[in-house]
Amino acid sequence: MMRLRCRRPASRLRSDAGAGTVLMVSVAMLAITLVAIVVPVTALLIGRQQLAATADSAALAAADTLRGLRPGEPCAVAERVAAANSAAVGACIPEPEAISVSVTATVLGVGIEVTARAGAPWLRVP
């Protein structure tokens, strides 16, 4: 009797064919994952910086109004400045020589709040 053997070519078992494809798919998935993480985090950081600038502007405008350098009510002025920058005033606390303004906004579905305080130039504001 004759034996039949099923032999696979040795070259196919040790071949690296297709390894580059697997490597490139892995690298592409890693790049997509990194971009999916970095882009939203960067957008949140930029949004927070813009909101901080808005809070500073609103507090400075309200402080000028509080000191009588411009007409109006300080908190109303802060609300107008915040609204012009697509934000809302969360709290406005006038003090005798300074004012604190908290501004809120939503960036990518995340609520962010920043507080700024401004007063007379000679006043040391912590």
Q: What is the DSSP letter of 67?
A: T
Report yes or no on 125 lying in a domain: no
**Domain limits at 105?**
47-120
Total domains present in the chain? 1
Q: What is the DSSP letter of 46?
A: H
Closest CA to 74 of 86, 84, 85, 61: 61
pTM (2 d.p.): 0.73
Report yes or no on 32 lying in a domain: no
Amino acid at 116: A
pLDDT by 10s per residue, the chain, length 126: 566 666 665 555 566 777 788 899 999 999 999 999 999 999 999 999 999 999 999 999 999 999 888 899 999 999 999 999 999 999 999 988 899 999 999 998 999 999 999 987 765 555
Report yes or no on 11 lying in a domain: no
Q: Where are the alpha helices (DSSP H) in the chain?
A: 10-13, 19-66, 74-84
Report yes or no on 85 lying in a domain: yes
The answer to whether 104 and 90 are in contact (CB under 8 A) is yes
Q: What is the DSSP letter of 68?
A: T
